[in-house]
């Protein structure tokens, strides 16, 4: 083989593979531009839907990486590299990672759903996963809450979505449920009037819905009343404690008894003749 044939072969190879290399580079450049444009478009759409910045950033980056991988595989295929095995390796690796991180993925899915559907927001007082407190931060994998005694609790999102979730802040108002008992010898109307005056004097208690005071039970040692005023959510505990104290003090002042459990004890003595004498 003379030098001319060698040069011709080299030129053919350079021409053939050079075009493929250029085409692969063009695919990468154009693909990167398309991926960036799609990410920006997707982020604008999500921002218009007022989603959380964390989820917007995550989905935007995820879509960018997915498209970029697609165009990299297309560029390798253009060079004549078999990508079937490469795709199989990526799929197997994804499956292995998914199995290893299934707990984290469950938390991620739950966090994504919470951010999308918003069952609660930062500042709400909620009860879930055996914990009650104010929501401080909602992240992709966890939710941070502060309890009434000022403890910080970090809860996996999957724990919050797998059971019942109570949001006490959604409606803005709460009903205070109290039970007070009086003796059977006390005047029912007098007791109701006292409790009604206490509720009327408290400006924190809402006029609508109107408070409810009713006899609920004839118990073993007391006549029980249910007292159910409505208040703003932020006033709940202060009103609860104040009402208990005011009712007790007013009942004492007005001579209305609050029964407590009592038990009569009978003592028997033997009289020595097989009989019993009661004392």
The DSSP annotation for 159-197 comes to: HHHSS--EETTSSSEEE--EEEEE-TTS-HHHHHHHHHH
Q: How many CA atoms lie less than 13 Å away from 174 in the CB half-sphere? A: 19
- Rounded CA separation 266/144 (Å): 58
| Domain boundary assignment for the chain | 3-100, 119-167, 173-254
What pLDDT shows up at residue 84?
67
* pLDDT for res 217: 94
Taking the domain 173-254, which CATH number applies?
3.30.70.100
CATH architecture of 119-167: Roll (2.30)
Which segment of 37-41, 137-141, 208-212, 239-243 scores lowest on mean pLDDT? 137-141
User: Which residues, other chains included, contact 75 with Cβ-Cβ below 8 Å and sequence gap of 6+?
Assistant: 24, 25, 27, 28, 31
pLDDT score for 236: 92
Considering only CA atoms, give the Rg of the chain.
37
Token pair listed for 57:
């950033």
Q: Does domain 3-100 have CATH number 1.20.1050.10?
A: no
Whole-angstrom distance, CA of residue 41 vs CA of residue 59:
12
More confident residue, 239 or 54: 239
Percentage with pLDDT > 90 across the chain: 38
CA 93 – CA 100 distance, rounded (Å): 11
Q: pLDDT higher for 259 or 211?
A: 211
pLDDT per position as a tens digit, 21-56: 777 788 888 888 998 898 888 888 877 766 667 667
Average pLDDT, the chain: 82
């Amino acid at each position: 083989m003379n030098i001319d044939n060698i040069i011709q072969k080299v030129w053919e190879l350079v021409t053939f593979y050079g075009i493929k290399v250029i085409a692969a580079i063009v695919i990468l450049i154009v693909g990167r531009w398309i991926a960036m444009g799609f990410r920006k478009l997707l982020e604008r759409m999500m921002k218009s839907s007022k989603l959380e910045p964390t989820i917007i950033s995550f989905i935007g980056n995820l879509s960018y990486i997915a498209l970029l991988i697609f165009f990299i595989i297309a560029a390798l295929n253009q060079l004549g590299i078999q990508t079937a095995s490469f795709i199989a390796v990526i799929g197997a690796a994804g499956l292995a990672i998914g199995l290893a991180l299934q707990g984290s993925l469950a938390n991620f899915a739950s966090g994504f759903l919470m951010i999308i559907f918003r069952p609660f927001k930062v500042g709400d007082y909620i009860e879930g996963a055996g914990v009650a407190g104010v929501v401080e931060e909602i992240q992709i994998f966890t939710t941070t809450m502060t309890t009434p005694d000022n403890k910080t609790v970090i809860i996996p999102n999957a724990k919050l979505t797998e059971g019942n979730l109570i949001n006490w802040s959604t409606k803005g108002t709460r009903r205070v449920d109290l039970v007070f008992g009086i003796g059977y010898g006390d005047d029912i109307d007098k007791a109701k009037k006292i409790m009604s005056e206490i509720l009327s004097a408290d400006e924190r208690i809402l006029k609508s819905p109107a408070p409810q005071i009713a006899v609920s039970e004839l118990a073993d040692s007391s006549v029980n009343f249910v007292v159910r005023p409505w208040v703003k959510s932020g006033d709940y505990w202060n009103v609860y404690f104040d009402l208990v104290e005011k009712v007790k003090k007013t009942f004492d002042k007005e001579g209305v008894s609050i029964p407590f459990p009592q038990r009569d004890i009978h003592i028997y003595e033997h009289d020595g003749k097989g009989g019993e004498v009661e004392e």
